[in-house]
């Protein structure tokens, strides 16, 4: 698999001879105002130009739209991408919005239900690990899925530093009595509010635990 980061969340994923365009944000540099309430709200988005001509991104096999926020599926993508391209969406609500822009082949992944998702996950794990699916099924202990879209308690949030809170992440990351260790994006001062920050913080907390167990 080859992954090329284009800009923001926009990626090209080449896998098994197919090219997938993920979360297209295709507007010209500076087309949208900065995000209100953030440290860089005065900077217009996107911050940089596309590194290739727009039309070069149309020559793909399919598009994957993880969700409909402007920085993952923007006006320019909605207006310019070829209407017949297959577009994968997370659920029927997103699919309807994408179809309303004239896209004719929109496929909501949640429509496959729990068993369909597990079926697809097993297929792709077998491909990724180069093993037979039957062998994976023999090793499988159990599966579990959760639909965050339908969970009334899942509201989605991430941290940001308020005025005077530049060092708050260090406080949040401090272990309690060398027994309780904390990970999570809010404990990372450099990549706050991102999956990358969460991963780095998890590694840091795991190293702390390891040092505690084996000094």
Ligand X SMILES: Cc1cc2nc3c(=O)[nH]c(=O)nc-3n(C[C@H](O)[C@H](O)[C@H](O)COP(=O)(O)OP(=O)(O)OC[C@H]3O[C@@H](n4cnc5c(N)ncnc54)[C@H](O)[C@@H]3O)c2cc1C
Task: Please check whether residue 23 is in contact with residue 64, taking contact to mean a CB–CB distance below 8 angstroms.
Answer: yes
Q: Cis peptide before 144, with omega less than 30 degrees from 0?
A: no
Q: Quick one: tokens of 131?
A: 């093993």
Could you tell me the smallest distance in angstroms from the CB atom of residue 136 to ligand X?
25
Specify the 3-state DSSP secondary structure of 201. Answer: helix
Task: Please check whether residue 136 is in contact with residue 128, taking contact to mean a CB–CB distance below 8 angstroms.
Answer: no
User: Between residues 23 and 60, which has the closer beta carbon with respect to ligand X?
Assistant: 23
The span of 50-58, 77-85, 109-117, 154-162 binding ligand X (CB under 6 A) equals 154-162
Task: Please check whether residue 175 is in contact with residue 160, taking contact to mean a CB–CB distance below 8 angstroms.
Answer: no
> E strand or H helix at 88, and its extent?
strand 87-89
Percent helix, strand and coil across the chain, each rounded to 5?
Answer: 35, 15, 50
Is residue 189 within the footprint of ligand X (CB under 6 A)? no
Select the residue interacting with ligand X from 157, 176, 180, 213 (CB under 6 A): 157
User: Between residues 126 and 182, which has the closer beta carbon with respect to ligand X?
Assistant: 182
Select the residue interacting with ligand X from 129, 148, 158, 160 (CB under 6 A): 158
User: Between residues 40 and 135, which has the closer beta carbon with respect to ligand X?
Assistant: 40
Is residue 198 within the footprint of ligand X (CB under 6 A)? yes
d(CA 17, CA 14): 7
Could you tell me the smallest distance in angstroms from the CB atom of residue 168 to ligand X?
14
Could you tell me the smallest distance in angstroms from the CB atom of residue 111 to ligand X?
21
Per-residue DSSP letter, 151: -
Q: Quick one: tokens of 60?
A: 């793909």
Could you tell me the smallest distance in angstroms from the CB atom of residue 195 to ligand X?
4
User: Between residues 153 and 214, which has the closer beta carbon with respect to ligand X?
Assistant: 153
Is residue 149 within the footprint of ligand X (CB under 6 A)? no
Show contacts with ligand X in window 5-64 (CB under 6 A): 9
Task: Please check whether residue 39 is in contact with residue 45, taking contact to mean a CB–CB distance below 8 angstroms.
Answer: no
Could you tell me the smallest distance in angstroms from the CB atom of residue 200 to ligand X?
10
**Contact positions vs ligand X (CB under 6 A):** 9, 156-158, 184-185, 193-196, 198
């Amino acid at each position: 698999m080859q992954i090329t980061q284009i800009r923001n969340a926009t990626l090209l994923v080449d896998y098994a001879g197919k090219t997938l365009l993920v979360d297209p944000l295709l507007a010209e540099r500076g087309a949208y105002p900065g995000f209100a309430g953030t440290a860089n709200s005065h900077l217009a988005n996107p911050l940089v130009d596309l590194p290739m001509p727009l039309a070069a991104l149309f020559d793909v096999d399919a598009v994957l739209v993880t969700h409909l926020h402007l920085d993952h599926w923007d006006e320019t993508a909605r207006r310019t991408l070829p209407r017949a391209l297959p577009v994968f969406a997370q659920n029927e609500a997103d699919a309807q919005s994408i179809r309303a822009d004239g896209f004719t082949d929109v496929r909501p992944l949640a429509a496959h239900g729990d068993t369909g998702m597990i079926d697809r996950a097993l297929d792709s794990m077998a491909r990724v690990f180069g093993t037979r699916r039957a062998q994976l099924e023999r090793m499988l202990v159990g599966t579990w899925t959760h639909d965050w879209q339908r969970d009334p308690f899942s509201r989605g949030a991430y941290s940001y530093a308020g005025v005077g809170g530049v060092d708050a992440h260090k406080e949040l990351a401090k272990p309690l009595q060398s027994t309780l260790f904390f990970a999570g994006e809010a404990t990372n001062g450099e990549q706050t509010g991102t999956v990358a920050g969460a991963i780095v913080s998890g590694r840091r907390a795991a190293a702390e635990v390891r040092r505690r167990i084996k000094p």
